[in-house]
Amino acid sequence: MSGASAGPGSRARGRARRELLLTATIALVAERGVAGVSHRAVAERAGVPLASTTHYFTSLEEMVGEAVVHAVETELARLRAFRERLETDGLTPAAAVDGFVGLVREQSAESTAAQFEAYLSAPRSETLRRHVRGLLQETRDLARATLRAAGVHDPAAAAAVVALLDGAALHRIADPAPDRSAELARSLRALVLGFSVLAMTDAGVVQPSQ
């Protein structure tokens, strides 16, 4: 049956099966890495026929790429919502930093693992590279908005914030037991302060130490 003649019920079942495949793929990515994902493993994890994987996706690379996007879409939605708050609610610099730390704390372990697996595999996959670029761009845009709220406009600061957050998230995967949120918040404040002092130094307001 063609897609044009499929009824609402058939389309709903198709969406549900596709969702099962994406969920199964991201679980396998988090457990085994991208290299450990296969059509058969995804079908078995999802509890669907093997042919479903090639019916809904043209390649394994496409399925993995879409699964990564699917996994981080909730995180992207939270990033966008927080960015809107920054731009409309006039959060104080301290509240902006605390909100940013909260975003990191609330990200699921599975989504975080999938994110870093995508980072590592992106150089070998144009599909994943495109999705990773989008995720990094969203995060940098939010970092810039957070920094503007703190009075920092240096383009290099956003990249530094994202690197710090990614490092903290990666450490949380490796050693999840300690809650280092307070340390991360303090590090972010120090970074903001450092770039603020650097801007004043560049402007000649503060003289650099000899």
- Residue 64 has a pLDDT of 87
- Residue 1 has a pLDDT of 40
Query: Which domains are seen in the chain, by residue range?
Result: 8-202 (1.10.357.10)
Distance CA 143, CA 148 (A): 9
- Residue 52 has a pLDDT of 92
Tokens matching residue 190: 């120090």
CB 184 within 8 A of CB 168: yes
Query: Angle at the Cα of 164 (from 70 to 198), degrees rounded to 5?
Result: 135
Residues contacting residue 149 through CB under 8 Å, at least 6 positions apart: 86, 90, 91, 92, 93, 96
Residue 137: name the closest of 197, 76, 179, 198 by CA: 76
The answer to pTM > 0.75 is no
Separation in Å, CA 27 to CA 70, 109, 135, 140, 169: 12, 11, 19, 26, 18
Tokens matching residue 125: 């996959």
- Residue 204 has a pLDDT of 66
20-66 residue pLDDT tens: 999 899 889 888 888 889 999 999 999 999 999 999 999 888 898 88
- Residue 44 has a pLDDT of 94
Separation in Å, CA 137 to CA 31, 73, 121: 26, 14, 18
- Residue 39 has a pLDDT of 95
Count of beta carbons in the 10 Å neighbourhood of residue 113? 20
Q: What parts of the chain have a pLDDT lower than 70?
A: 1-8, 203-210
